[in-house]
Amino acid sequence: MKREGTFGEFVDIGQWQEIQEHFAEVIGATIRTTDPSGILLTAVSRPTRLCAEIVSASPTGIAKCKECFSPSLVDLRANEMWKEGYQCHLGLYNFAIPVSLPENQKIAYILVGPLLLGERQKPGQYREKIAELGMDFDKFADALIEIKVFSFSAIQAVLELLQDAVSYIAEVGYHRFKLEKVIPLPRLSKMVYKFYTEKLLNALLDVSFNVLDGEFGSIMLFNEKTGELNIKISRGIKKDIIKRTHLKAGEGIAGLAVQERKILFVDDQVTDERIKERLQRPEIKSAVVAPIQTEDKLFGVMNIGTRHTSDKFNSGNIDTLRQLVKLVAVSFKDIPAV
């Protein structure tokens, strides 16, 4: 296959470093970017004290880490098993998200981890491995507390959307690079941005539906000129509802979520009178309304609901949804639309 280019040709590394920092803070885990051979392209974002201080103080630990990362990338390229993750010598999980061009050429990997999956184990269960690596047990136990714990379903949802977000950013750069010579740049920028924005919003809605087992939902985008929210993407909603739905901040539950700048949860036990008086569809058993926003900009709001009682609308999945929405908002914030 003819090589089309490198990650650095399509993505400004300095800008990508900032985006990576935002992503790392959103999911609460270490992220780094490498080229396909495993060479770092960025500084490590949100480094864990366990790796940066405790393991790195052990020559044996350093050797084990080197064994863990580079060979794993080779295996991932061959087997495409990145969603399953792989365990390091301490039993912590790491994930490598491939970044590909439209021709499926791998130009980078986004490494996420270390993480813990399932339940947090007691430090004593690591004692034998810690002794083998010649590390201080008390320092290790103290640093281990900082490693974030995910359920397998939560990390899968985060990784899936993170890959979509990273691909979105890389592909925008790729198409700008390839086509700006034949299409005027301002026009091209709007065309490319619009296309990939819709792809990423569809990915957000699909992944969120899977997390919550939703029956219907939508993403409404905020129009700065009119000050209204309009349905852009939907699932399971009638066309006439889509056409006539236009909300301003404070109107409806979506408008209230925007006004409050927080996720609102709706079920048959809701006590908030502001939500109850805005609930126009009594058949809804559970719903979540989540603003898509950064600290200084509103992009829209996502609504997901179900007509049947579902245990998927729980605090753990709502927290996962919050992370997914933030990942998309970060992507929109750092990629210019013009």
Half-sphere exposure of 220 (CA within 13 A, CB side): 31
The predicted structure's pLDDT at residue 271 = 65
Q: 328 and 322 in contact (C-beta within 8 Å)? A: no
The predicted structure's pLDDT at residue 336 = 45
Structure tokens at 176: 């700008």
The predicted structure's pLDDT at residue 71 = 47
29: exposed, middle or buried (C-beta count within 10 Å: 0-12, 13-18, 19+)? buried
Nearest one of 214, 205, 194, 211 to 325, comparing CA atoms = 205
Q: Which 8-state DSSP code applies to residue 45? A: B
Q: Is 220 helix (H, G, I), strand (E, B) or coil?
A: strand
The predicted structure's pLDDT at residue 195 = 64
The predicted structure's pLDDT at residue 30 = 93
Q: 267 and 246 in contact (C-beta within 8 Å)? A: no
The predicted structure's pLDDT at residue 219 = 92
Residue numbers in the chain where pLDDT is lower than 70: 1-4, 66-82, 175-196, 271, 276, 279, 282, 333-338
The predicted structure's pLDDT at residue 184 = 53
The predicted structure's pLDDT at residue 194 = 66
**Cβ contacts of 114 within 8 Å, gap of 6 or more:** 29, 30, 48, 50, 51, 88, 90, 92, 93, 94, 147
For residues 219 and 318, what is the distance between their CA atoms, to the nearest angstrom?
A: 16
For residues 315 and 293, what is the distance between their CA atoms, to the nearest angstrom?
A: 20
Which amino acid is residue 138, in one-letter code?
A: D
38 φψ region: left (φ > 0), alpha (ψ -120 to 50), beta (else): left
DSSP string, 241-307: HHHH-EEETTSHHHHHHHHHTS-EEEETT---HHHHHH---TT--EEEEEEEE-SS-EEEEEEEEES
The predicted structure's pLDDT at residue 312 = 84
For residues 334 and 329, what is the distance between their CA atoms, to the nearest angstrom?
A: 9
The predicted structure's pLDDT at residue 45 = 94
R_g over Cα of the chain: 22
